[in-house]
Amino acid sequence: MFESRPDRSDEVIFVGRSNVGKSTLMREITGHTFDTGSKPGVTRSPNHYDWASDDFVLSDLPGFGFMSGVPEEQREQIKTDIVRYIEDNADDILVGVLVVDGKSAVDIIDRHSGEDEIPYDVEMFYFLRDVGIPVVVAVNKMDKVDDEDERLDELCDRLGLHPPWKQWQDTIAPISAKRGNIDALNEAVKEHLHEAKRDDLLKFFS
C-alpha cells in the first residue's frame, strides 16, 4: 500500500492523528479534494499530490492513533508503515508537517504521558527530528481556542520547546484550515524550503 510513491526527488509530508483536519488542510494547500472516506482510519495508504512540472510531491500519510472501530493491531500496523515510509524517504523529505488539533492536543498528550508511554504526537515530533527532517507543527482548529498564546505555550512545553511559542514560529504554526487561515504554516514551510535551497517550491505555499 505504501509503495505507490510517485517518482519525485523532493517531498513534503503531512502526518497526524485521525480527525485533526489533515484532509481539509491538504485541500486548502492544493486546491484538490482527496477521497478521504467518511470514517476515521479509512485512509490506509498515503495520498500523493504531485505537480507535473516540478520534481516535488506533497504526501498526506494515513492518520494514526486511536480510531473508533479499528482494531489495535491494525492501528499499530498503520503506525509501523508510516514510520517505515518516513525512514525510507527521509533523505528526500524537505519538511514534515505534524498536524495536531489545537483544542485537544495538550489534553491528549497529558492523558498518554506515563512512565512507559510516550504520546504519539510527541513521539512523531522527535522521530522526524531524529531522522533529520525539519518539523512544522500545524496547530489546527485554533478558531475554537479561547486563549491562543496560553494554549500554544502549553503545547511547546509538552514538545520540549521552551515557551513562549512565538520564538518557535518556524516550528509552531497556528492555523484554522476550515476557515482558510493557513498563513503561519505557509510561512514556516517556506522558511525550511529556503534553507534547503528550494526557493523554486515557495510558490506552492503562498
The predicted-structure confidence for 5-51, as pLDDT tens digits, reads as follows 777 789 999 999 988 999 899 989 988 775 555 455 555 788 888 76
* Residue 105 within a domain: yes
Asked if the structure places residue 163 within a domain, the reply is yes
Mean pLDDT over the full length of the chain:
89
Kindly state whether residue 150 falls inside one of the protein's structural domains.
yes
**Domain-embedded: residue 4:** no
Q: Residue 63 sits in a domain of what CATH number?
A: 3.40.50.300
Q: Which domain holds residue 57?
A: 10-205
> Model confidence over 120-139: pLDDT tens digits?
899 999 999 999 999 999 99
Return the SS3 of 60.
Answer: strand
Which residues are CB-contacts of 72 (< 8 A; sequence separation ≥ 6)?
Answer: none
8 Å CB contact between 83 and 128: no
Q: With 90 as the cut, is the pLDDT of residue 53 above it?
A: no
In a domain, 42, yes or no: yes
Residue pair 181/143 in contact (Cβ under 8 Å)? The answer is yes
Total domains in the fold of the chain:
1
> Would 5 be classed as within a structural domain?
no
Residue 122 lies in a domain: yes
Quick check: is 70 in a domain? yes
